[in-house]
Amino acid sequence: MHITNEYLASTFEAVQKRNSNEPEFLQAVFEVFHSLQPVAEKKPRLAKEGVFERLAEPERMISFRVPWVDDQGKVQVNRGYRVQFSSAIGPYKGGLRFHPSVNSSIVKFLGFEQIFKNSLTGLPMGGGKGGADFDPRGRSDGEVMRFCQSFMNEMYRHLGPNTDVPAGDIGVGGREIGYLYGQYKKLTGRFEGAITGKGLTYGGSQVRTQATGYGLCYFTEEMLRKMKGISMEGMTAVVSGSGNVALYAIEKAQEMGVRVIAASDSNGYIVDEKGIDFQLLRRLKEEERLRISAYADQVPGAQYFPGRDIWSIKCDLALPCATQNELRLEDAQKLVKNGVIAVAEGSNMSSTPETIEYLQQNGVLFAPSKAANAGGVAVSGLEMSQNASHAIWGFDKVDRQLAKIMVGIFHSALDASAQYGVEGDLVAGANIAGFAKVANAMLWQGIV
Ligand code: NDP
Ligand code: 2IT
């Protein structure tokens, strides 16, 4: 794949030079610039006003020391980040990731993609992301609390309901959000919607926990219906990961008549041909915080395999829901050989560029993460609305809005792909549709 548009090619070269040690960030920018070529050609004003150059450079990026004391009394130091990428259409919005692999490249790729994802939801949210190279795995609740408090001791000054609103991501779930919010409130003295994903008793929204996984299924169903005239019902699916996104994708897919036969963690995967027992898996992962192998120990007939060969399992539907670049070319080749119908990304940038190209060339429906996993941040946006108006909405109301937003995102992406001569390419369509609103806002607001 090459960028042939001269202007975008030279702009990408400059981005490469400036960020030469950030491969994930460059991968994300390349994909977007590649998709935007027909837009740049049709609208020369975008280049003239430096829209692409400006978008590829964060408005602000902070990195900070996070010191804390472990249970042995030893002082630990981690590095925290927040990238405030774009505020063109609303306050910075995006999750926090706590994982040992977090670095500036990871945070920037996520923050960059968040700009377009948030725009696709139709809600007024800019793009941001943050996190730390802290590993909550194996840490006690007390250690996690002290880490979160120290993280917030720096972060709070950069946040606010109209400034920057973080939420969860890998390694940041209900427990971490609770500690982060408690410290935010302590430091500012304000009870306000400066974080989303909060607990239901203190300002959280119904459906936020389920939103990304449910939204992924709503998107996938609409894609199958409109592009192939079929439904998910009766299909077999493989889901990678077993965290927040994977769990609720499994639950909703099963509700929609799909048999989900495999799930994983970073050590291995389980196969349960009868269909995964969602309630059991949820309890093992969310409440007991065990490894996924515990599922096979408890379910007769289920098997555990170490390693990452989950994509060699025959399925109609593949839902990667763990981490970036988890779906590689060799995985895609196995999926295609086994007759996969659709791949929908729950994790951010699940697939390498070669994977996407291969799947699309082989007639597999491909739903890119920016569009397909936008349900989480969409319900975060609804949480912000509820907080701002001191309202509490019911489960069904939020769920209906989520479904409507996901169907809307699918159609925005499909329509944009048709309008720019790449009909059915949802990668290009999502990038173009997400970009349109942000670029328009930037043009109106001048060079800032
Ligand atoms: P969780 O921390 O709840 O779960 C992550 C899962 O992915 C775990 O099963 C974990 O296994 C696995 N995983 C994480 N890192 C790796 C790795 N490097 N290699 C292999 N497996 C890995 O995170 P979420 O479910 O929230 O997030 C999953 C993905 O979805 C991420 O890409 C995230 O950015 C994206 N996402 C999340 C949203 C949200 O609202 N939470 C919204 C939109 C996207 P292990 O326990 O072994 O580490
Ligand atoms: O990647 C994502 O969209 C998220 N982790 C959710 C962000 C949010 O602000 O809810």
Residue 265 is which amino acid?
D
Distance CA 193, CA 90 (A): 14
pLDDT at 368: 99
Reported pTM: 0.98
Residue 127, phi then psi, degrees to nearest 5: -115, 135
CA-nearest residue, atom 29 of ligand 1 = 347
pLDDT at 365: 98
Asked whether the predicted pLDDT for residue 439 surpasses 90, the reply is yes
Paired residues of 83 in beta bridges: 61, 129
Tokens read off for 277: 């027992």
Residue 292: pLDDT band (50, 70, 90) is: very high
pLDDT at 1: 86
Paired residues of 407 in beta bridges: none
Average pLDDT estimate for 286-315: 98
Tokens read off for 330: 């060799």
Average pLDDT estimate for 66-72: 98
Distance CA 109, CA 61 (A): 13
Average pLDDT estimate for 360-381: 98
Over residues 2-16, the pLDDT tens digits come to: 999 999 999 999 999
**Is the separation of the CB atoms in 369 and 348 below 8 Å?**
yes
CB neighbourhood size of 336 (10 A): 16
Average pLDDT estimate for 406-417: 98
Distance CA 17, CA 3 (A): 16
**Is the separation of the CB atoms in 294 and 318 below 8 Å?**
no
pLDDT at 208: 98
Average pLDDT estimate for 394-420: 98
pLDDT at 355: 98
For residue 419, with 0-12 CB atoms within 10 Å meaning exposed, 13-18 middle and 19 or more buried, which class applies? middle
Average of per-residue pLDDT values in the chain: 98
Query: Going by C-beta distance under 8 Å and a sequence separation of 6 or more, which residues neighbour residue 235?
Result: 257, 258, 259, 315, 316, 317, 341
Shortest-distance ligand to the CA of residue 92: 2
Average pLDDT estimate for 197-202: 98
pLDDT at 122: 98
Q: How far is CA 72 from CA 81, 146, 246, in A?
A: 26, 13, 34
Pocket probe mutation, ligand 2, options 123, 169, 350, max atoms within 8 Å of Cβ: 169
Residue 221: pLDDT band (50, 70, 90) is: very high
Asked whether the predicted pLDDT for residue 106 surpasses 90, the reply is yes
Q: How far is CA 64 from CA 179, 370, 395, in A?
A: 19, 28, 38
Asked whether the predicted pLDDT for residue 203 surpasses 90, the reply is yes
Distance CA 362, CA 341 (A): 10
Shortest-distance ligand to the CA of residue 350: 1
Q: 141-155 vs 174-188: helix axis angle to the nearest 10?
A: 50
Pocket probe mutation, ligand 1, options 139, 175, 244, max atoms within 8 Å of Cβ: 244
pLDDT at 377: 99
Average pLDDT estimate for 410-417: 98
Average pLDDT estimate for 111-130: 99
Distance CA 426, CA 370 (A): 10
Over residues 147-179, the pLDDT tens digits come to: 999 999 999 999 999 999 999 999 999 999 999
Over residues 80-101, the pLDDT tens digits come to: 999 999 999 999 999 999 999 9
Residue 400: pLDDT band (50, 70, 90) is: very high
**Is the separation of the CB atoms in 403 and 378 below 8 Å?**
no
pLDDT at 95: 98
Q: Is 136 in the pocket of ligand 2 (CB under 6 A)?
A: no
* Ligand 2 center to 174 CA (angstroms): 13
**Is the separation of the CB atoms in 214 and 375 below 8 Å?**
yes
Q: Is 212 in the pocket of ligand 1 (CB under 6 A)?
A: yes
**Is the separation of the CB atoms in 159 and 184 below 8 Å?**
yes
* Ligand 2 center to 274 CA (angstroms): 32
Q: Is 244 in the pocket of ligand 1 (CB under 6 A)?
A: yes
* Ligand 1 center to 320 CA (angstroms): 10
pLDDT at 257: 98
Distance CA 23, CA 195 (A): 29
Q: Is 346 in the pocket of ligand 1 (CB under 6 A)?
A: yes
Please report, rounded to a whole number, the percentage of residues in the chain having pLDDT higher than 90.
Answer: 100
Paired residues of 132 in beta bridges: 80, 98
